[in-house]
Amino acid sequence: MSRIFIVEDDKSIREELAELLRNSGYEAEYLTDFSNSRADILAARPYLILMDINIPNLNGEQLLKEIRRESDIHVIMVTSRTSETDEVLAMSYGADDYITKPYNPTILLLRISAVLKRFAGVSQVQSYNGLQVNDAKGSLADGSREITLTKNEMIIFRFMLDRKGSIVTRDELMTALWDNDEFVNDNALTVNISRLRSKLADLGCEDAIETRKKQGYILR
C-alpha cells in the first residue's frame, strides 16, 4: 500500500483529504506541527507528498527544494495559487505535478495514481485472468486469439485492472476518459462498457465486469 504524506496547514482540509485518500485505499499521514517539517516528513518515509505552498515557517517551495536535496520522493504541489509562474517555479524545484485548489477529488485521485504509476515502471499489471494486456497495441490476447480494444475501451479496462477487485465509479471512469481527451457522454460510457464486456466474454472471461447498483463496477 502506498503511504501518502499531507503537508497542509488547514486542519479541515488535511483531515478530509486524509479521509479521501484512506477511502481510496491509500495510507495517509499528515503534519500537525510545522516547526520541523523537513525532518518529520523524511522520517515518515512516505511514497508521495501532497504539499501546500502556504505553510507556516518554511514555505512549500523552500521545503520542496530542501527535500529534493536529500530525497526523490514524489511530490505533488496542491495550492490555491493559480498563476502560471507559481506552477513553473514549483515544477522547476522538482515537483512531479501541480494542482490548484479547490480540486475535484476524483481528478486529484487520478493525478495521484498517474504520478505513482509513472514511477512504478514495469510493476504495472500486464495480465488479467491469463490474458496478455498490451497497452501499446491496445489489445488483449490469450495465446491463440487476439482482440483489439478501442482507445476508450482500453482506458476503461486499464483503469479497472489497476483497481481490480474494488469498486470503480462511473464518475471515476468518466474522469479518466476525459483526462485522455475522450469527451464521452453517459450513454457512450454505458455502450463502451457493454462492448468491453462482450469482448472479454469472447475471450472466455464471462461476467468479468460486475455492476454494483448506484455504486459502479468491479472487475473480478
Partner 1 sequence: MKFTEYVKDRVWFYMIAAISLGLILLFLEVFRVNGQLVGAVSSIFLLFVVFEEIFCFNRKKHFYCELVEKLELLDKKYLIHEMLAEPGFIEGKLTYEALCEANKSMCENVNVYKRQSDEFRDFIEMWVHEVKLPLASLQLMAHNHGDELGEKFLEQLRRIDGYTDQVLYYARSENSEKDYMIKETSLKRTVANVALKNRESIQLCGASVETSGLDVSVMTDGKWLEFILGQFIANSLKYISPDREPVISISAEEDEEKVLLHFRDNGIGISEGDLPRIFDKSFTGENGRSYAKSTGMGLYIVKSLCDRLEHSVSAVSEQGSFTELTIGFAKNNYYKMA
40: nearest Cα among 32, 51, 48: 32
Residue 111 touching partner 1 (CB under 8 A): no
Supply the Cα-derived Rg of the chain in whole angstroms: 20
Q: Note if the bond before 102 is cis, omega within 30 degrees.
A: yes
Inter-CA distances, 36 with 18, 58, 214, Å: 21, 9, 45
Q: Can you tell me which of 185, 198, 207, 213 binds partner 1, judged by CB under 8 A?
A: 185
Residue 88 touching partner 1 (CB under 8 A): yes
List beta partners, residue 148.
139
Amino acid at 186: D
Phi, psi (deg, nearest 5) at residue 159: -65, -45
Q: Can you tell me which of 81, 158, 197, 199 binds partner 1, judged by CB under 8 A?
A: 81
The span of 10-18, 25-33, 36-44, 145-153 binding partner 1 (CB under 8 A) equals 10-18
Buried/exposed code over 71-105 (b: 16+ C-beta within 10 A; e: otherwise):
eebbbbbbbebeeeebbebbeebebbbbbeeeeeb
Residue 80 touching partner 1 (CB under 8 A): yes
Q: Which is nearer to partner 1, 101 or 195 (CB)?
A: 101
Instruction: State the nearest-atom distance from the C-beta of 65 to partner 1, in Å.
Output: 20
Interaction mask 40-59, partner 1, x per CB under 8 A: --------------x-----
Interaction mask 19-38, partner 1, x per CB under 8 A: xx--x---------------
The span of 14-22, 135-143, 160-168, 192-200 binding partner 1 (CB under 8 A) equals 14-22
Instruction: State the nearest-atom distance from the C-beta of 69 to partner 1, in Å.
Output: 26
Residue 92 touching partner 1 (CB under 8 A): no
Region of 209 (left: φ > 0; alpha: ψ -120 to 50; beta: rest) is beta
Residue 114 touching partner 1 (CB under 8 A): no
Contact 108, 115 (CB under 8 A): no
- Contact residues toward partner 1 (CB under 8 A) are 10, 12-13, 16-17, 19-20, 23, 54, 80-85, 87-88, 100-107, 174-175, 178-181, 183, 185-186
